[in-house]
Amino acid sequence: FCNPFFCSHSMRSFLSLLALPPVSEAALCRYEWWVRDHVVDYLNPNAKMKLGLPVPESAESAGQYVNEMFPGPLIECNANDDVEILVANQLSEHGTSIHWHGLWMNNETGDAPTPWADGVHRFSHAPIMPGMNYTYKFKAWPPGSHFYHSHMDATQVDRGIKGAIIVHPEQDRDRKSVV
């Protein structure tokens, strides 16, 4: 298109911009969670909910699950996607909060801070009390494997409020996943 001997540097730079692929738009990854109390079999925490099996009295334990799953639902998105997670606290007595372990609560360039979404109660926000809802909103960054867990107290994590987060690199946005 342009002879390099006769084009100025700025013209070559402009022409090189025209050859770039279009930038992908950030997607919205939206989830709705219900946090509830459950009586579970400590030795087989999914037996009652997935299989309908009775819980032996000797193995009864208090469980607190997200969407009746242990571990909780997988969060999967691409780097710099917008993430919204509505958490409905349906626990009988306790407040809760969710901490997104390993996520920066910002984007790649550092210009979209969301420290209030970090999920550490009494630090970034108040606990979500029983019967109340809260929507966490943040950017998915950095790419990699991370996890979330309740940050209310240690017993909620032990009772089941935890799960995995996968943030794919942006260049994987258009790839189809194979299961």
Task: Please write the tens of the pLDDT for every residue from 71-113.
Answer: 999 999 999 999 999 999 999 999 999 999 999 998 888 888 8
Please state which of the ranges 18-32, 69-83, 110-124, 145-159 shows the lowest mean pLDDT: 18-32
Cis before 71? omega within 30? yes
pTM of the complete model:
0.77
pLDDT score at 17: 47
93-117 CB burial, b ≥16 within 10 A, e <16 = ebbbbbbbeebbbbbeeeeeebeeb
pLDDT value at position 146?
Answer: 97
Taking 60 as the threshold, does the pLDDT of residue 53 lie above it? yes
pLDDT of residue 119: 81
- pLDDT: which is higher, 92 or 56: 92
- Structure confidence at residue 169 (pLDDT): 96
In 3D space, the residue among 57, 55, 28, 58 whose CA is nearest the CA of residue 40 turns out to be 55
Task: Tell me: pLDDT of 60 over 50.
Answer: yes
**Helix and strand element counts for the chain (H, E):** 3, 8
